[in-house]
Amino acid sequence: MSLIAQVQAPTVDFRGLSPLIALVVGANVVLLAGLLRGAGVQRVLVPLLAAVTLIVAGALSVAIWETGDVEPLVQSALAMDTLTLSMSLLFYLAGLATIALSLRSSAVGEAGAGEYYTLLLASISGMVVLAAAENLITLFVGLELLSIPLYVLCGSAVRERASLESGLKYLVIGSVGSATVLYGLALIYGATGQTDLGRIAAAIGEQVEVGDPLLLTGIALTASGLAFKASVAPFHQWTPDVYQGAPTPITAFMAVATKTAAFAVFLRLFDAALSTNQVEWGPALAALALATILIGNVGAIGQRSLKRLLAWSGVAQAGYLLAGVVVGTRLGLQATAFYLATYLVMNMAAFAVVIASERVSERGDDISSVEGLGARSPVLAWPLTIAMLGLAGFPATAGFMGKFYLIDAAVDGQYAWLGVTIVVGSMISLVYYLRVVAAMWMAPDAPPLAGPVRRMSPASGGSPEADPRAQPETVAVALVCAALTIAIGIFPSPLFDLAVQVGTSISGI
């Protein structure tokens, strides 16, 4: 009796961990449900369970929402603060959209629905851990938990060479990235003697000098490794290849969620642990941002594959996002979080349309597959148009507000030239975004435009999937995301409020 009383079990805050617990439990349930036989199980029950898991996790995240600098959990390994929770909500939304987009994907059938959705949920839980990491070890665990399922998911269309190649490529490059991060983290630990982000922050300037070479090398290596995940130049080369080869729903998920997770950890690491060093790493990251913006935008210009185009555009967008990290201010943190949310809706709208048109066109994801889409099916053309205009930063879209906020943060943080770089990047980006819009609405060989296009019934020889009504969930994702893009562009205040709450999560900046 007395012996038991003396054992001090660590207190586990189940309330704070509840979203993670929901995710992990859900992932297991989905895996087990996938073992059941029957088409109904595979096509309806498993995705439904996965979606329910994400919704429950989202609801729990909202329930434990608390502004301010929240006390970390599990021996200060995880912080369920507004930064984590807001980013988690973005992961869940991206996950829900991915589930909807995967419903008719051949990759699900080939990999097995149970495995496919379990890997998706596992990857999301890795993202949550990564975003919440208050400790170098948790950070690395989260990074690996995020990455490994994604390697498999990229290769999940096992009958397609491109998918397998993409999975292998991502595995090799991702491992190099992870190794680089690990090495960097080890050096930071070596320099400061701490693994807790809070204690590292306290140690810098006290036990270890701000310009300590070991520390700076560690920071540089960690930043490089994370840059792999966020596709920041010059660590972006894998992005177009992997994005093009992977099953398109997974591409959408990677483009949105992985990038969000990478930036969540960028923000936490640089703003919480290393903010005293901002003068040291600020200019270096700014140079990376400049290079990323230019390389990404220039790289996108010549692309004909829409997935590659969106990959390059994602590289450029990573450059914009990095500007919010560079300044190391509360405003920068808020602007980055805000932009990540807008980035999610704009990209999801674009990818949903790419998926929808890819399925019915024999030209795959080539830009010619959307030619004349404006006349053929406006219900798909509008979301893609709005997404492209939004990504280019046109007003009355979420992209404009996001850029406005980022430029605001950049100028406020003494990086006015970076703000100008963002707009220069946007100018270059017009060339390729508008090409997509022009292909949809102004294609020279557009069919005669008198009256609505007659839709043939399957019996009379028309392809059933040529009708957008044949894949309502894809169209719904596109429409909802496009509507959100416009709504945020016109009434941005609620999202700004949230961003301000996210800004309270890290004290000391």
Partner 1 sequence: MSVNLSILVFLPLLAGLLCAVVPGSAARWIGLAASVLVLALSVMLVAAFDPDAGLQFVTDVAWIPELGVRYSLGVDGLNLFLVLMTALLWVPATFVSAHAGYTRPRLFYFQLGLAETAVLGAFLAQDLALFVVFFDLMLVPFYFLIGAWGGADRVQATTRFVIYTLVGSLLMLAGAVALGVLSTPDGGQISFDLAELARRDLPAGSQAWIFWMFALAFFVKAPLFPLHGWMPDAYRSSPVPVLVLLSAVLSKVGAYGFLRIVLPLLPDASARFAELVILIAVVSILYGSVLAFSQDEVRLVVGYSSIAQLGFITLGIFSLDPKGAQGAVMQMVNHGLVVVPLFLLAAVLVHRAGGSESLARMGGIAFRAPVLAALLLVVSLATLAMPGSPNFVGELLILFGVFETHIVYGLVASAGVVLAAVYMIRFFQRAMHNRVGPSVESRDIGRVDFAAVAPLVLVIVALGVYPQFLLGRTEAATVAKVQEAGRLAEPPAAATAKEPVR
List residues binding partner 1 (CB under 8 A). 334, 374-375, 389, 393-396, 400-401, 403-405, 407-408, 411-412, 416, 419-420, 422-424, 426-427, 430-431, 434-435, 437-438, 441-442, 444, 449-450, 492-493, 496-497, 499-500
Which residue, 190 or 417, has its beta carbon nearer to partner 1?
A: 417
Q: E strand or H helix at 21, and its extent?
A: helix 14-33
Query: What is the closest distance, in whole angstroms, from the C-beta atom of residue 240 to partner 1 in the complex?
Result: 23
Alpha carbon distance 244, 365 (integer Å): 9
Which residue, 280 or 408, has its beta carbon nearer to partner 1?
A: 408
Query: What is the closest distance, in whole angstroms, from the C-beta atom of residue 94 to partner 1 in the complex?
Result: 25
Query: What is the closest distance, in whole angstroms, from the C-beta atom of residue 361 to partner 1 in the complex?
Result: 21
DSSP conformational letter for 491 = -
Token pair recorded at residue 447: 């069919």
Query: What is the closest distance, in whole angstroms, from the C-beta atom of residue 430 to partner 1 in the complex?
Result: 5
* Cβ-contact 88, 130 below 8 angstroms: no
Question: What string of DSSP letters covers 304-326?
Answer: -BHHHHHHHHHHHHHHHHHHHHH
Which residue, 163 or 317, has its beta carbon nearer to partner 1?
A: 317
Alpha carbon distance 134, 117 (integer Å): 28
Which residue, 457 or 493, has its beta carbon nearer to partner 1?
A: 493
* Cβ-contact 92, 234 below 8 angstroms: no
- Listed in sequence order, the residues at least 6 apart from 184 whose beta carbon sits closer than 8 Å to its beta carbon are 217, 218, 219, 220, 221, 222, 223, 224, 225
Which residue, 126 or 399, has its beta carbon nearer to partner 1?
A: 399
Q: Which residues pair with 196 in a beta bridge?
A: 135
Q: Which residue has the tokens 């040529």?
A: 466
Alpha carbon distance 273, 63 (integer Å): 27
Which residue, 452 or 462, has its beta carbon nearer to partner 1?
A: 452
- Listed in sequence order, the residues at least 6 apart from 123 whose beta carbon sits closer than 8 Å to its beta carbon are 145, 146, 147, 149, 150, 153, 253, 257
Alpha carbon distance 36, 200 (integer Å): 49
Query: What is the closest distance, in whole angstroms, from the C-beta atom of residue 479 to partner 1 in the complex?
Result: 15
Query: What is the closest distance, in whole angstroms, from the C-beta atom of residue 239 to partner 1 in the complex?
Result: 25
Which residue, 176 or 500, has its beta carbon nearer to partner 1?
A: 500
Buried/exposed 120-158: b ≥16 CB within 10 Å, e otherwise:
bbbbbbbbbbbbbbbbbebbbbbbbbbbbbbbbbbbbbe
Which residue, 22 or 335, has its beta carbon nearer to partner 1?
A: 335
* Cβ-contact 419, 407 below 8 angstroms: yes
The single-letter code of the amino acid at 102 is S
Query: What is the closest distance, in whole angstroms, from the C-beta atom of residue 456 to partner 1 in the complex?
Result: 22
Which residue, 326 or 407, has its beta carbon nearer to partner 1?
A: 407
Alpha carbon distance 421, 415 (integer Å): 10
Query: What is the closest distance, in whole angstroms, from the C-beta atom of residue 431 to partner 1 in the complex?
Result: 7
Which residue, 8 or 493, has its beta carbon nearer to partner 1?
A: 493
Query: What is the closest distance, in whole angstroms, from the C-beta atom of residue 302 to partner 1 in the complex?
Result: 15
Query: What is the closest distance, in whole angstroms, from the C-beta atom of residue 478 to partner 1 in the complex?
Result: 18
Query: What is the closest distance, in whole angstroms, from the C-beta atom of residue 380 to partner 1 in the complex?
Result: 15
3-state secondary structure of 231: coil
Which residue, 249 or 503, has its beta carbon nearer to partner 1?
A: 503
Q: Which residues pair with 133 in a beta bridge?
A: 78
